[in-house]
């Protein structure tokens, strides 16, 4: 792949679950007298945009234009997210705030660079029919008013991507000739039929086909991919294998492992968001799957060295 890729003219529509990641950074110097738990003395706090919003940030930092479509609550966390997006330069006009939803808030407490505990406040029920219809209407509006080069469906099982909504997106994408990449989760795994680029991680891949895949065995990965293709007819598959790299199974039937580089990871959260962002942009640019995977490996390694959810920048990638 070119050492200096240029994604500046690309427009990517990201649809999926957004959330707020709240970080409490501090130090542990003693154990609580009330219970055998560490006392974290908080030094700093930070809000970051997570989930599909982090994908939008990755797309933006890589030089392309993100269009973010999601639904959140009309609550304090939702207001924080809208403010964050505006500050970071991501348009929030297609992020619908609805009084009957709760915005996901993930709070992580750190002792220096080690995570001590995480707690989540969220609602994971599927959108109701009226909410679903609002999302479909907004999606149609984007297709009418914006140039969309590719769609990313970023599923975190928080209820925005319902089975019906997924079907509508895929139908309209096909009708408009727009390629689709998917970062799936278990609940809707087989709803993503015939997509251009399908990117589960190893655990999701293994659970979907019902048996444990050995990430170091090419044969195990290949037979799993063949079985998965029979079930959801993906065109291209990328399975992230953590430190073992990425396994690819292409539209032409070629398959290979692109090895990862061993790194000292500070935090793996958000690495999948970076991989789908890089892979989507490179896919639009018609790079081969091997190059796409090499590029994605490099990006994931860079963000894993950072503490907390952080997007990759074009400068880091170059």
Residue in 302, 248, 247 with CA at minimum distance from that of residue 274: 302
Taken as a whole, the chain contains a residue count of 318
Are the beta carbons of 151 and 180 closer than 8 angstroms? yes
Residue in 180, 181, 178 with CA at minimum distance from that of residue 148: 178
**Strand 38-51 to 18-31 pairing:** antiparallel
Q: In sequence order, what are the residues at sequence separation of 6 or more whose Cβ sits closer than 8 angstroms to the Cβ of residue 223?
A: none
Q: Helix, strand, or coil here: 125? A: coil
Determine whether 120 is an active site residue: no
Alpha carbon distance 199, 242 (integer Å): 13
Q: In sequence order, what are the residues at sequence separation of 6 or more whose Cβ sits closer than 8 angstroms to the Cβ of residue 5?
A: 281, 282, 285, 295, 314, 317, 318
Are the beta carbons of 289 and 280 closer than 8 angstroms? no
Rounded mean pLDDT for each run of 10 residues along the chain, 318 residues in total: 77 98 95 95 95 96 96 98 96 97 97 92 95 98 97 97 98 98 96 97 95 93 96 96 92 92 59 92 95 87 67 72
What domains, with CATH codes, occur in the chain? 11-317 (3.40.1190.20)
Choose the catalytic residue: 17, 149, 155, 273: 273
Provide the 8-state DSSP code for 194: S
pTM for this prediction: 0.93
């Amino acid at each position: 792949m070119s050492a200096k890729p240029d994604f500046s003219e690309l427009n990517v529509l990201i649809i999926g679950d957004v959330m707020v990641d709240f970080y409490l950074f501090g130090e542990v110097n003693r154990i609580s007298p009330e219970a055998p738990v560490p006392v974290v003395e908080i030094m700093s706090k930070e809000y970051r945009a997570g989930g599909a919003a982090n994908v939008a940030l990755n797309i933006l930092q890589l030089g392309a234009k993100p269009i973010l479509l999601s639904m959140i609550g009309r609550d304090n966390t939702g207001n924080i997210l809208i403010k964050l997006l505006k500050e970071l330069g991501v348009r929030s006009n297609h992020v619908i705030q609805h009084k009957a939803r709760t915005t996901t808030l993930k709070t992580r407490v750190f002792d220096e660079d080690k995570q001590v505990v995480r707690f989540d406040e969220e609602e994971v029920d599927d959108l109701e029919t009226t909410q679903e219809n609002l999302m479909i209407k907004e999606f149609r509006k984007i297709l009418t008013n914006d140039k969309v080069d590719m769609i990313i469906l970023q599923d975190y099982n928080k209820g925005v991507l319902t089975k019906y909504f997924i079907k509508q997106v895929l139908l309209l994408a096909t009708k408009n000739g727009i390629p689709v990449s998917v970062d799936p989760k278990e609940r809707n795994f087989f709803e993503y039929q015939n997509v251009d680029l399908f990117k589960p991680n190893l655990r999701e891949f293994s659970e979907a086909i019902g048996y444990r895949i050995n990430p170091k065995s090419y044969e195990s990965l290949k037979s799993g991919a063949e079985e998965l293709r029979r079930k959801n007819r993906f065109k291209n598959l990328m399975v992230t294998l953590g430190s073992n790299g990425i396994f690819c199974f292409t539209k032409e039937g070629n398959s290979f492992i692109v090895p990862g580089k061993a790194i000292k990871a500070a935090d793996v959260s958000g690495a999948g968001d970076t991989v789908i962002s890089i892979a989507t942009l490179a896919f639009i640019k018609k790079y081969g799957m091997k190059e796409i995977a090499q590029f994605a490996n490099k990006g994931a390694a860079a963000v894993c060295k950072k503490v907390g959810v952080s997007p990759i920048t074009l400068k880091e990638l170059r």
